[in-house]
Amino acid sequence: MDDGPIGHDEAWTEIDAQRQDLVRLLESLSAEEWQRPSLCRGWTVRDVAAHVALQNTRWSQLPRTIVDLVRHGGMNPAIRAAACRHAGRPVDELVGEIRDRIGVWRALPTLTYHEAAIDYVVHGQDIAVPLGRELPMPTRLSALAADRVWARGAMFHASRTFAGYRFVADDIEWTAGRGQEVRGPIGALLLLLTGRAVALTQVTGPGVSALRSGQAPSAR
């Protein structure tokens, strides 16, 4: 079992590994696979890749972001609008933008490496899982991301949505919440907390049947 918190430099090193793995996967996709549905409801693989490619956002682009927020009525619709717009670029450009982030240890404006970990680990699975591909989910980086998802309610509302459940990782020392136990790999727990119900096949415990009955949130 790989225990212990991950530090700033090691986190960025593992984020770079996620970037490299994602680039290799995207480079191998057929034109048909780019158009397949991702784990995010209503998003194609290409849309998700475009969203990840937008990690190149700079402060100079924030005025466009503010316009999207106003025009589309909130953060989530604005994020989707930006991703769909960006997805119109050639796939080679999208892959190149992700590749260009390898070695860049700087998050988007106002965010930190914790949010970067969430983006790369979770969105990598959004692409890989429905295509039947495998991308590694490093345990400590996944735990770092899960901590952030649980603690930062504005992102996924996980602690509120999953009130009454206790999540326990079986491959690293990590727990969250109180109530019916849901146990499994930290990667699967991270996917559940971010609304990816596909991970229910990887967990056990008395809380699983309740989640399967419809209490798990929709993906976003």
pLDDT for the residue 82:
83
- CA 211 to mean position of chain CA atoms: 20
- Is the pLDDT reported for residue 153 higher than 80? no
Q: What is the pLDDT of residue 59?
A: 40
| Residues 185-216: tens digit of each pLDDT | 999 999 999 999 999 999 999 999 999 986 53
Query: pTM, whole model, 2 decimals?
Result: 0.89
Q: For 152-159, what is the mean pLDDT? A: 85
Instruction: Check: CB of residue 162 under 8 Å from CB of residue 86.
Output: no
pLDDT tens-digit readout, 9-58: 999 999 999 999 999 999 999 999 999 999 999 999 999 999 999 876 54
Helices (H), the chain: 8-27, 31-34, 45-53, 62-72, 75-86, 91-100, 113-128, 139-151, 153-156, 158-161, 186-193, 208-210
Tokens of 162: 């999953």
For residue range 97-149, what is the model confidence (pLDDT) as tens digits?
999 999 999 988 788 999 999 999 999 999 999 999 999 999 999 999 999 99
Q: Which long-range contacts (CB under 8 A, 24 or more apart) does 77-81 make?
A: 79/51, 80/42, 80/43, 80/47
Task: Write out pLDDT tens, residues 60-108.
Answer: 454 555 454 445 444 567 788 888 899 999 999 999 999 999 999 998 8
Q: In the prediction, which pLDDT does 79 show?
A: 81
